Structure 1
Amino acid sequence: MVRARDDLCISVPSFFKCPISLDVMKSPVSLCTGVTYDRSSIQRWLDAGNNTCPATMQLLHTKDFIPNRTLQSLIQIWSDSLLRHPTPSEPLPSPDQVLRTVFDFKSDSDSLRFGSLSKLLLFAKDSLQNKLFLAKLEGFVNQLVRFLHNVDVGVTAGTSVEFLEQVVIVLGLILDSIEDREGLKNSMLKGKKQSLDSLLLVLQRGSLESKIASARVLQFVAVDAEAKISIAEKESVVAELLKSAAPEKDAALIEAALASLVAISAPKRNKLKLVNLGAVKAMTRLLTEANLGAAAVEKVLKIVETASSTREGRSEICEEATAACVAAVLSKVLKVSSAATEHAVTTLWSLCYLFRDRKAQEAVTQNNGLTKILLLMQSNCAPHVRQMCTDLLKIFLANSKSCLSCYDTKTTHIMPF
């Protein structure tokens, strides 16, 4: 523990402490044994004539040590967080306390379970090491899934929804530390798939943090075609993800929802479901109304590309009601990232070249798409993107001898000489 303001004490992660001084390390360095100490403490130990590692008592074949930059950065981040939040509402539980807290899950008391989850949430948010500790704790992940299975999805009491939120947030925090992704998928999607009902309830009624966590959990378990189809069979889940990706929503929620939609969109039946639920219009809104980062734009264009591989999706993209979609896709060519450009060009290639959709070809022409295709061909794009541009150019040349009339031939900056 370290003392903060007044009489408050703050728990210090054990691996931030020097094994010799037991204080927070200011300059962590590692010996050849792999054990890390504060530089001043281990230097005093070595200067005293010792030739062993204090923690393991192994003989040192070299007394040189290496600065542990990663640990030093983590300590700095932790220290900065104390300055921002110097008076935590409750102390961080120790690993032993966490074990006792997990035991409280067996209680029939909802209030006790809720309190236990609150402590575990505080523990998980503290460090990557704590997340890994919980993920590897035998039976812990399965217990969280059991909570998702057993909740009454018809409840209206706020406490029940709040309990679910805690479960989903804790699960979302430790996802990246879970090694058995296949096992989590199987446990969540078996039987009647009540866990999907629980995630849906969180998406509908939860806080921003819990909604983001719910979307992340859905993305994580969409590990194979079977899982993707199982998730999409719950149409309300897909519809809620599309609602979460509306321009007026929080940017982090939009990106989490988009990542989840991309993860489940590969199977053909899922593509059709996305289109039928209005994915094309939703993505067009995002491209035209939202101020998205590059990663989010890439995901939006990936979903549009996926829709363009179906007849129904192409029809939606080229309808008069969604004519803005082609223009929106064109607007992202060369402006976001190489991945975004590739998704945009693949969509245009699918519409105009592969399936020869006349409405799409007209929309590209009307929105000065040919100019952008020519510019792209002279850029440092990937060979397969350049080939798709070449195919598109052939289509427009074949359709009209004057197809280049819309292109300003006085624009010399794209000429090769």
Structure 2
Amino acid sequence: MAEIEIPPYFLCPITLDMMKDPVTISTGMTFDRDSIEKWMFALKNNTCPVTKQLLPDSELTPNITLRRLIQSWCTLHASHGFERLPTPRSPVSKSEVLKLLNDAESPHMQMDCLRRLNSIASQNQTNKRCMEAVGTPDFLASLIVNKTLEAYRAESRLICEEAVSILHGLHLSESWLKSVGSQEFVESLTNMMQIGRYESRAYAIMLLNSILEVADPGRITINLSSEFFIQCAQILNDEFSKKATKATLKVLINVCPWGRNRFKAVETGVVPLLIDLLLDSTDKRASEMMLVVLDMLCQCAEGRAELLGHSAGIAVVSKKILRISQVASERGVRILHSISKFSATAGVLQEMLQTGVVAKLCLVVQVDCGSKIKERAREMLRLHAKAWRNPSCLPHNLICAYPS
């Protein structure tokens, strides 16, 4: 087992700025609230960072005695620049959240209550867990579904945006994400991707990505609308947020194993859009995901036709092989393999030769890049040996490298 890095949460003059709100966990160890909440909730650890004991619960008890000692120490050393720490806010209670949810049922109080809920959620992880425990996400999801039906009204649209913002900020549990994946809610988030401001569109696609990552395969991905893919393409085209772009690519990876979804994605122009993005992409992970999506879409005839119809389609895929990562190389070779096996007209073969694909395949079989990649490259070279063997533009050393 890998060694777990233990952050320096202990009280000492060097780390006083970290120990702002000391809390004690069930093992008796004391940590700063923000730090231990990140350890337990964001990083999903269920052991004590120090003792490695399993934590039977996530209860955090304020260590008032230690907090007073810290305050006294700061007061004594004020001449050295240490300021007295402000008294931390107490975590929200279930009754407070329930009252806000009840008040939010009233239309004229809805926006104020949502803003208050957003503020509470932003304070700490304990508040987020409390809000989920009393049903806040269910209320917000229902609100989004109802309000997107009247999103033509500016007030309804603002309420939807605030609700989506809170849901995104809650870092919801896997169990809730699995329970909320209804077709109706997915369609409502799709509407938010269409009508919302950039920030709300980013929150909507990231929330959709979280839902699809834990959803049962096929449960909500089979009947996705064409509008869903149109909005995914629009987010990729707008490039207003790297996080939103990567979330959209992950969403496409999750939904494109189904043939009907591949066709809808191709129909909305995703293939040429991904090629254009690949031409300028310098982000390793984003480039890998673009090639993964292209590989999926090239498994259907329409997707291959779109890639071949783009003047830079074959060239950019070839260019990324052996330049980004093992994953990118494997997917790039898979795309070229689909092209050469199912769409290899005389014109396509000539284009593959002129754009350097053949030379790249010869290089692939000579370098250490994985047996599966090499085998696919050899298969392509064997399959089209007659077309590629004797052209005058091919260097002699590469002709010699062809498999017999």
String of CA shifts for 1:104-136, please: whole Å, max 9, x gaps.
Answer: 22333335332222233233334445444433x
Letter in 2 for 1:117: L
Name the SS for the 1:245 alignment partner: helix
Question: Could you tell me which residue of structure 2 aligns to residue 381 of structure 1?
Answer: 369
1:251 matched to 2:248? no
Task: Give the conservation status (yes or no) of the 8 Å contact 1:332–1:344.
Answer: yes
CA-CA distance at 1:367 after TM superposition: 0.8
Q: Which runs of 5+ in 1 are unaligned?
A: 1-15, 40-64, 69-90
Q: How does 1:12-411 map to 2 (within 5 A)?
A: 26=19, 34-37=27-30, 94-97=90-93, 99-107=95-103, 108-135=105-132, 137-185=133-181, 188-189=182-183, 193=184, 195-222=185-212, 223=215, 224-230=217-223, 232=224, 234-246=225-237, 248-288=239-279, 290-319=280-309, 322-403=310-391, 405-407=393-395, 409=397
Letter in 2 for 1:300: M
Letter in 2 for 1:281: P
Name the SS for the 2:373 alignment partner: helix
CA-CA distance at 1:275 after TM superposition: 0.8
Task: Give the conservation status (yes or no) of the 8 Å contact 2:148–2:157.
Answer: no
String of CA shifts for 1:252-281, please: whole Å, max 9, x gaps.
Answer: 222222222222111110001111111111
Letter in 2 for 1:124: A
Letter in 2 for 1:282: L
Letter in 2 for 1:257: T
Alignment coverage as a number of residue pairs: 336
Name the SS for the 2:240 alignment partner: coil
String of CA shifts for 1:327-352, please: whole Å, max 9, x gaps.
Answer: 12112111222111111111001111
Distance 1:378 1:180, change over 3 A: farther
Distance 1:141 1:33, change over 3 A: closer
Name the SS for the 1:350 alignment partner: helix
Letter in 2 for 1:264: V
Judge which range, 396-405 or 278-287, deviates more.
396-405
**For residues 130 and 396 of structure 2, what CA distance do their matches in structure 1 show?**
63
**For residues 141 and 31 of structure 1, what CA distance do their matches in structure 2 show?**
28
Give the superposed CA RMSD: 3.6
Name the SS for the 1:35 alignment partner: coil
**For residues 369 and 362 of structure 2, what CA distance do their matches in structure 1 show?**
12
Task: Give the conservation status (yes or no) of the 8 Å contact 2:98–2:134.
Answer: no
**For residues 239 and 258 of structure 2, what CA distance do their matches in structure 1 show?**
29
Question: Could you tell me which residue of structure 2 aligns to residue 83 of structure 1?
Answer: none
Question: Could you tell me which residue of structure 2 aligns to residue 74 of structure 1?
Answer: none
Letter in 1 for 2:327: A
**For residues 396 and 98 of structure 2, what CA distance do their matches in structure 1 show?**
69
**For residues 342 and 406 of structure 1, what CA distance do their matches in structure 2 show?**
24
Task: Give the conservation status (yes or no) of the 8 Å contact 1:301–1:340.
Answer: yes
**For residues 97 and 26 of structure 2, what CA distance do their matches in structure 1 show?**
34
**For residues 248 and 96 of structure 1, what CA distance do their matches in structure 2 show?**
37
Distance 1:315 1:297, change over 3 A: same
Task: Give the conservation status (yes or no) of the 8 Å contact 1:161–1:201.
Answer: no
CA-CA distance at 1:305 after TM superposition: 0.8
Judge which range, 137-146 or 381-390, deviates more.
137-146
Task: Give the conservation status (yes or no) of the 8 Å contact 1:326–1:360.
Answer: no
Q: Aligned residues: percent identity?
A: 18
Question: Could you tell me which residue of structure 1 aligns to residue 40 of structure 2?
Answer: none
Distance 1:93 1:305, change over 3 A: farther
Distance 1:114 1:357, change over 3 A: farther
CA-CA distance at 1:141 after TM superposition: 2.3
Question: Could you tell me which residue of structure 2 aligns to residue 10 of structure 1?
Answer: none
Name the SS for the 2:30 alignment partner: strand
Distance 1:105 1:384, change over 3 A: same
Distance 1:392 1:362, change over 3 A: same
CA-CA distance at 1:307 after TM superposition: 1.3
**For residues 262 and 289 of structure 2, what CA distance do their matches in structure 1 show?**
15
Name the SS for the 1:246 alignment partner: helix
CA-CA distance at 1:32 after TM superposition: 11
Task: Give the conservation status (yes or no) of the 8 Å contact 1:280–1:304.
Answer: yes
Task: Give the conservation status (yes or no) of the 8 Å contact 2:193–2:201.
Answer: yes
CA-CA distance at 1:398 after TM superposition: 3.3
Distance 1:132 1:335, change over 3 A: farther
Task: Give the conservation status (yes or no) of the 8 Å contact 1:164–1:198.
Answer: no
Q: Which runs of 5+ in 2 are unaligned?
A: 1-8, 33-49, 54-86
Task: Give the conservation status (yes or no) of the 8 Å contact 1:120–1:170.
Answer: yes
Letter in 1 for 2:139: Q
